[in-house]
Amino acid sequence: MSKNLCKNPIVILISGGGSNMAAIVRAAQTGRWRERFDAEVSAVISNRADAGGLAFAREQGIVTAVLNHRDYATREAFDAALAAQIDLYQPALVVLAGFMRILTPDFVARYAGRLLNIHPSLLPAFPGLHTHQRAIDAGCCFAGATVHQVTAQLDHGPILKQAVVPVLPGDTAHTLAARVLTQEHRIYPQAIEDHLRGV
């Protein structure tokens, strides 16, 4: 059992570069979450050993772990192992930050009310993948990002915070994604802070 050094540990799950994770870590530092909420990012866990965000987490002195989903015969077996790793930290929040796995209902139920995700669309519009291209193809004037509580239904659950981004003439999925990402980095830490404040 890992020693909890604060009352409200946060565990972040990533699969790639971890830019949202980094934004959360920086917000925790600048926003003095430890002093104000007795909260800190206690661990970063990835299903990919080559996830770029792991290096950033280590540089910040955050414990990291890797569980390769390919090492498990079933989705249920992987989620059980992941939950066992997460539970070492007794987290107040489990935060999905580009964690590219569909979670089993048992896993979601285990962390009900304290499992958050960010999705690059204005949910309920465009759940799933390729959100930016789909928004462009649909002729949307606006796109954006949504922070929500995770439920067993993919990209659903109570909406906690949204940011709206205009779709500009000539936008590609890449340019739109870059503009949305800057808003993700803003609203995800805000939503977590609101949760810690009990808002």
Residues marked active site are found at: 119
**What is the distance between the alpha carbons of residues 41 and 24, in angstroms, rounded to a whole number?**
8
**What is the distance between the alpha carbons of residues 111 and 82, in angstroms, rounded to a whole number?**
12
**What is the distance between the alpha carbons of residues 136 and 152, in angstroms, rounded to a whole number?**
28
Query: Could you write out the DSSP letters of every residue in 40-66?
Result: EEEEEEES-TT-THHHHHHHTT-EEEE
Environment class of residue 5 by beta-carbon count within 10 Å: exposed (0-12), middle (13-18) or buried (19+)?
Answer: exposed
